[in-house]
Amino acid sequence: MSILSRLTILCAILRHVHLLIHIALTGELQALRPRAFIVDQLSAGLPFMRYIAPSSPILFYCHFPDLLLAQGRESALKRLYRRPFDWLEEWTMGFASAVAVNSGFTKGVVNNTWPNLKKRTETKAVYPCVDTEAKEKEDVGSDGDVPFKGEKIILSINRFERKKDIGLAIKAFAAIPEAERKGCRLILAGGYDPRVAENVQYHSELEALASSHGLEHLTTKTLITALSAPPTVPVLFLLSIPNSLKASLLRSARILLYTPANEHFGIVPLEAMLARTPVLAADSGGPVETIVDGETGWLRSPKDVDAWADVVRSALKLSDAEVQKMGDKGAARVKELFGREQMAKRFDEILVDIVSKKPPVSAMRTVVNAAGVLVAQNSAVSRGYYCRCQMHSTDTNLQ
């Protein structure tokens, strides 16, 4: 929701103000009598939430500081526009009984961005999860839908955005001697929206980059067209692939290249490891916490193209047994640390802790103003003793 593709954050806040007022006036909270709330992504409504339910503690889940995601700060007008929202973000997060983040990396960023918040509210990491049970069902009889049989697939899955540094995958592939690239194919797949200028521009830039390295390439949106590509086309761009094709590509890949630096968490490496595909990722951000270098994959500097090329060459030379061994370790790590049960357990531990402590009520009723906004839809959650408020937005970068 926006006004002429602008004022996105303001519109989001106003939308949730409306939702919060609706919840308050209908008496829905009184009927549910939640013992705690989980508020996701936007913190602007925490003061108002504390006002209408002063005895219920709040767990706020911060994916990443929005003030660091907002683009266009080169403009003085944009900086002026963002100033009250940046202040509001930090101030309102202080009303949370506890703050959870998606990784240790994000925790460090939050603490460095808001040192005063760190003094008042403890920040804890709660890793996002993947559905490990669904993957186990897919593994049964899944060999028949593995595409590109007989080829060694080097896979990259990312949105076509410049910050994802997909060009690193092309450069690393081009750095491999041509003789060693025989029988290999680099597949660059991911989210692509022709209405988003950056997607269109960056895809064109990547095509030009491949051409500059003498790599023939083909762009397609369907698996049928991709499978018809001749062996002389070593680079394939697959745009906006469905989940079923994504799963098949992960199973068929020899190695996944996860190129973005300082990624907040990164769910794709988990999906690859669960599919028993080794991962090569940047040695910063979330992947440092999910990948064990040399065991479930590799971590290398995104500034060192030759190092990436060396790892890919080594991965291509691994025997099937060696790939299977590394893949098994990766799948075991995901199931042990990043499943739904583990995520629910971490949430439960925090919730039990804040519910057991009496939240400060004081004069909270005097702090609410028109900027107060509740993030989320209202729903009863696990075991019926707290209410989960989760923001629904197609735009995770509220600008």
Closest CA to 105 of 304, 323, 283, 296: 283
pLDDT band at 375 (very low <50, low <70, confident <90, very high): very low
Alpha carbon distance 191, 193 (integer Å): 7
**CA atoms of 121 and 114, how far apart (whole Å):** 11
pLDDT at residue 396 greater than cutoff 60: no
- Alpha carbon distance 215, 154 (integer Å): 14
* pLDDT tens by residue, 72-127: 777 888 788 778 888 888 898 999 999 999 999 999 999 999 888 888 888 999 99
- For the record, the structure tokens of 208 come out as 């030009």
Start-to-end C-alpha separation, the chain: 11
* Mean per-residue pLDDT, 374-379: 34
d(C-alpha 6, C-alpha 152), whole Å: 44
State the Cα–Cα distance between residues 384 and 74, nearest whole angstrom. 47
Which of 318, 387, 334 is closest to 127 using CA atoms? Answer: 334
pTM above 0.85, yes or no: no
pLDDT of residue 382: 37
In three-state secondary structure terms, 387 is strand
pLDDT of residue 390: 38
Q: What is the mean pLDDT of residues 212-241?
A: 91
Q: What is the mean pLDDT of the chain?
A: 85
Question: In this predicted model, which residue has the larger pLDDT, 361 or 173?
Answer: 173
Q: Is 188 helix (H, G, I), strand (E, B) or coil?
A: strand
**Cβ of 271: how many Cβ atoms within 10 Å?**
20
pLDDT band per the 50, 70, 90 thresholds, residue 21? confident
Q: Which secondary structure element, helix H or strand E, spans residue 190, and what is its range?
A: strand 184-190
d(CA 169, CA 120): 42
Residues 6+ apart with CB under 8 A from 272: 155, 250, 253, 256, 258, 278, 279, 330
Question: Band of the pLDDT at 221, cuts 50, 70, 90?
Answer: confident
Classify the C-alpha dihedral 259-182-209-306 as positive or negative: positive
Residue 140's pLDDT is what?
Answer: 41
Tell me the residue type at 88: L
Two tokens, residue 161: 């955005």
Would you say residue 385 has pLDDT above 50?
Answer: no
Q: Would you state the pLDDT for residue 373?
A: 34
CA-closest candidate to residue 270, choices 257, 246, 283, 287:
287
At 36-61, the pLDDT tens digits run 999 988 888 899 888 888 889 999 99
Residue 9: which residues within 8 A CB-CB, separation 6 or more?
A: 66, 70, 85, 398, 399
pLDDT digits (tens, 9 = 90+) for 253-272: 999 999 999 999 999 999 99
pLDDT of residue 383: 36
Q: Please give the average per-residue pLDDT across 196-222, as a whole number.
A: 95
Residue 357 predicted with pLDDT over 80? yes
In the chain the domains, ranked by start, together with CATH numbers, are: 8-129+340-390 (3.40.50), 132-337 (3.40.50.2000)
pLDDT of residue 384: 36
Task: List the strands of the sheet with 279-282, edge to edge.
Answer: 217-220, 235-239, 184-190, 152-157, 253-258, 279-282, 297-300
The pLDDT of residue 159 is 96
Each residue of 239-249: b (16+ CB within 10 Å) or e? bebeeebbbbb
DSSP-derived letter for residue 294 is: T
Own/partner contacts of 319-328, CB < 8 Å, gap of 24 or more, are: 323/254, 323/278, 324/276, 326/278, 326/295, 326/296, 326/297, 327/273, 327/275, 327/276, 327/277, 327/278, 328/276
Residue ranges in the chain assigned as alpha helix (H): 8-26, 28-32, 46-52, 66-69, 76-93, 104-113, 115-120, 132-139, 167-174, 197-212, 223-227, 243-252, 268-274, 287-290, 305-317, 320-337, 340-356
Q: Which residue has the tokens 């897919």?
A: 138
CB burial string 96-113: b at 16+ within 10 A, e below: bbbbbbbbbbbbebbeeb
Strands 253-258 and 152-157: parallel
